[in-house]
Amino acid sequence: MLLAAAALSQEPQPGVEHDSWRQIELASVGGTDCLEIILRDHAVRLALADLRVMAVDAGRVMDSATEPRVQRIFERRAQALLGRLNGWPKQGGCVQAPSAEGEDRFVVAELLKAGRAAVRPPGGAQDAQTVWMRHLGKRAGPLRGRGEILFYLERGGEPFFVVSWWMS
């Protein structure tokens, strides 16, 4: 856990040209009391307990260097996601989300970054033990650019999940 926290605190600065990779060891998330989301044919499972913790104290899930105001934003995002669970079907004890849209995507990304998720590839019988996270920032001029955080099962493969990191 300390290694994960140290790695998170070394997250690159937004707004600059950047390309870095980090391998993340994933937790085992059981098939009950969880949320399952399909992302590009990959099933991502999140423990509802982790979502509940994030909804109350995001600092326990996120990097400790994350600003308190950003932690409050993630607490509200996790609360909103938890509030929608009742409307979604349940299969084998796991709530099935129709997709990850809007701000839900950032909650999923934070839990993936922290290794608090399970990822099953399409047609796979077993969950992946690790994923790769890539921070990719490109500048197109002094006032133009964008950065994304991409998640891969294999380094150099196709990303199964992408979120915006920064934009100018």
Tens of pLDDT, residues 153-163: 999 899 999 99
**For residue 19, is pLDDT > 50?**
yes
C-beta separation of 125 from 13 below 8 A: no
**How distant is the alpha carbon of residue 38 from its chain centre?**
13
What is the C-alpha separation between 117 and 110, in angstroms, rounded? 10
Structure tokens at 60: 């326990």
Q: What is the model's pLDDT at position 120?
A: 94
Tell me which of 125 and 53 has the higher pLDDT: 53
pLDDT, averaged across the chain: 89
Q: Phi first, then psi: what are they for 76, rounded to 5°?
A: -65, -40
Q: What is the model's pLDDT at position 129?
A: 96
Q: What is the pTM of this model?
A: 0.89
Q: What is the model's pLDDT at position 168?
A: 87
**For residue 10, is pLDDT > 80?**
no
What is the C-alpha separation between 28 and 7, in angstroms, rounded? 20
Run of H or E residues at 108: helix 104-113
SS3 147: strand
Per-residue pLDDT of 66-111, as tens digits, reads 899 999 999 999 999 999 998 899 988 899 998 888 999 999 999 9
How are beta strands 94-97 and 34-39 bridged, if at all? parallel
Average pLDDT estimate for 30-37: 89
Q: Give the HSE-up count for residue 102: Cα atoms under 13 Å, Cβ half-sphere.
A: 7
What is the C-alpha separation between 122 and 83, in angstroms, rounded? 28
